[in-house]
Each structure stands twice: as C-alpha cells, then as structure tokens.
C-alpha cells in the first residue's frame, strides 16, 4: 500500500541533509567560543565550559565558513519545513501526528510490551504513540531552534525577542539545547526504525509499505527481526516453526 506521499518523502530527505549541515556547522560556530557566560562571568547551567566539541563532529572548516553553511541550511530548513507543514495540514496527515486522548494509556501499553510485561503488540494504527510523540515534537523543536537562532543572529534588530528569551546569553543557551533535543529525537527515530521497523525505510523512499511486515503484525520488539525463529514444544513435534 502507498504510505507516504512524494511531498512527505522529499521534504523528509531534504530535512535530513539540512539538519546534518546545521548541526555540524553550529557546533563549529560554538567552538569559536565554547562557553555561554561572557568573559569574566559565570553561567549556571553548562558544566563543560571552554571544552571544545570534537572537531570530527563539526562542519564548515573555520568560523566564517561554518556561518555561511549554517545560514544557508537555515533557509533551506525553514522553507522546506513550511512546505511540509502546509502539505500535511492541507492533506489531512496532521491527524496521524497530533497527540490524542488516551496517549498516556497507549504509551504505557507500549512500554509494557517492550518490557516483556505484555505479550501482544498494542494495536495503535499507522504510528504508535511513541512514534507520534516523536514526529509531533520534531517540528515543534525545529521551530524553537529557528526562533532562538534568529534571536542570537540579530540580537539588536530583534532585541525584543532576545529579551523575551532572557537576553543574548540565555537565547544562545536555548538555541544550543534545542539543537541537542533535535539530535536526541532524530537519533531515537533512526534507532527505532532499524530496531523495530526496518521495512518502513523503503516506504520513505518509494512510498510503498507492506502492512504484513508492520511491527503489529510481526509482534516485533526491538531487534526481534534479527533473531532466529523460536520453536515451541508443539512445533518441535510437528516440525513447524513459529516466527
């Protein structure tokens, strides 16, 4: 069945590239002054002051080059995000992503399944509650990253915004935290794709998805698709296997 519209697929992969460039170049910019307190001051909430990010995690080569890449990727991310959000709103796909009544209950059921306290995979539709929470949070955190980025990019012209965020130092800190949260959400998303539903990766390329391979149908916990088939007592007697 067709699962993802081509607009969703294209904007997804553009976002992948834009986020990698933005995070890598942003870390290179941060390394130019790897602290949040102004010189001579202290800052309460960052214990790694003056410790540079490993260079292999950065992108852009030098400060000016990293700034050029960062701002270029920023406009790509903003425009691409507007296309994506506009499409899912007009196409109605936002209904698959927004929080619902009963999400706490469904999340608890998914936790019990992953903790082996429940035998059967909860039936929760196209995306389970943990996936919906991640997909809903990513655009929200992306918007926060853009807003905080604008506040530190133009702290004079956008002085009101910068002040609302607590001033330049705090705006820079919120921007850093939003980047960290974006990375955590993205890494969690990628991990769960490969751990639980690797067959969905094809759907983000071709748009097609075989529902018979969904985690619900396979009763799949993380990395269960890598394990050999289990044999039950009856199966051993009859020579049949149970996946």
Task: Name the residue range of residue 31's domain.
Answer: 6-238
Tokens encoding 39: 């010189």
CATH code for the domain of 37: 1.20.950.20
Residue 1 placed within a domain: no
Residue 243 placed within a domain: no
- Model-level pTM? 0.82
Query: How many other C-beta atoms lie within 10 A of the C-beta of residue 106?
Result: 19
Q: ∠ at Cα 158 (157, 162), nearest 5°?
A: 135
pLDDT level of residue 146 (50, 70, 90 thresholds): very high
Q: How far apart are alpha carbons 145 and 177 in whole angstroms?
A: 9
Q: What is the pLDDT of residues 162-188, one digit of tens each?
A: 999 999 999 999 999 999 999 999 998
**Residues 121-140: what's their mean pLDDT?**
84
Whole-angstrom CA distances from 3 to 16, 150, 206, 236 are 19, 35, 9, 38
Q: Indicate the number of domains in the chain.
A: 1
């Amino acid at each position: 069945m067709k699962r993802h519209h081509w607009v969703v697929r294209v904007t997804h992969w553009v976002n992948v590239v834009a986020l990698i460039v933005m995070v890598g170049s942003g870390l290179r910019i941060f390394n130019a002054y790897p602290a949040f307190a102004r010189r001579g001051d202290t800052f309460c909430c960052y214990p790694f002051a003056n410790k540079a990010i490993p260079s292999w995690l950065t992108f852009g080569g030098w400060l000016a080059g990293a700034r050029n890449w960062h701002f270029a990727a920023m406009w790509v991310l903003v425009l691409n995000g507007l296309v994506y959000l506009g499409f899912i709103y007009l196409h109605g796909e936002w209904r698959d992503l927004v929080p619902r009544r009963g999400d706490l209950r469904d999340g608890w059921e998914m936790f019990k399944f992953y903790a082996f306290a429940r035998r059967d995979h909860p039936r929760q539709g196209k995306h389970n509650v943990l996936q919906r929470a991640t997909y809903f949070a990513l655009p929200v955190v992306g918007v926060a990253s853009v807003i905080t980025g604008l506040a530190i990019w133009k702290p004079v012209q956008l002085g009101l915004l910068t002040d609302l965020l607590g001033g330049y130092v705090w705006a820079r800190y919120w921007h850093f935290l939003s980047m960290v949260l974006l990375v955590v959400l993205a890494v969690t998303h990628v991990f769960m794709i490969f751990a639980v539903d690797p067959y969905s990766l094809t759907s983000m390329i071709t748009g097609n998805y075989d529902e018979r391979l969904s985690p619900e149908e396979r009763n799949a916990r993380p990395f269960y698709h890598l394990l050999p088939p289990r044999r039950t007592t009856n199966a051993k007697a009859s020579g049949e296997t149970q996946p």
